[in-house]
């Protein structure tokens, strides 16, 4: 019984030392980037169908076209359910969106 306990303790000690050695070799964790994580452009929609007045461009992700946006007054604007809302087209493009094919 004692022999089994000693073997188990040696194994556990070896694992702990191995983990410590790997952590030491990896070095310190990287410092956070200045200004914190990069925020995604745009804002969340007010409702499933509406964007805030200051961010009227509706952006969303489609299976067919990828990330696209619709401008107010365009063909499918009223039907589009936004995933993200943008103040300008440039802001939508910075988020990886492109103008919808039917826009």
In this predicted structure, the answer to whether residue 16 has a pLDDT above a threshold of 70 is: no
Residue % of the chain over a pLDDT of 70: 64
Rounded mean pLDDT, 77-91: 96
Q: Give the domain ranges of the chain.
A: 42-103
Rounded mean pLDDT, 55-74: 93
Integer CA distances (angstroms), 70 to 3, 26, 44, 89, in order: 73, 46, 15, 9
Residue keyed to tokens 């990828």: 66
Picking from 102, 46, 34, the residue whose alpha carbon sits closest to that of residue 74 is 102
pTM above 0.75, yes or no: no
């Amino acid at each position: 019984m004692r022999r089994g306990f000693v073997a188990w303790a040696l194994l556990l000690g070896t694992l702990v030392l191995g983990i410590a050695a790997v952590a030491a070799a990896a070095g310190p964790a990287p410092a956070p980037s200045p200004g914190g994580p990069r925020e995604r452009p745009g804002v969340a929609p007010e409702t499933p169908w509406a964007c805030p007045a200051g961010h009227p461009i509706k952006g969303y992700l489609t299976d067919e076209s990828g990330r696209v946006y619709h401008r107010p007054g365009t063909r499918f604007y009223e039907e589009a359910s936004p995933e993200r809302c943008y103040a300008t087209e440039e802001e939508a493009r910075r988020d990886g969106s492109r103008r919808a094919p039917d826009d």
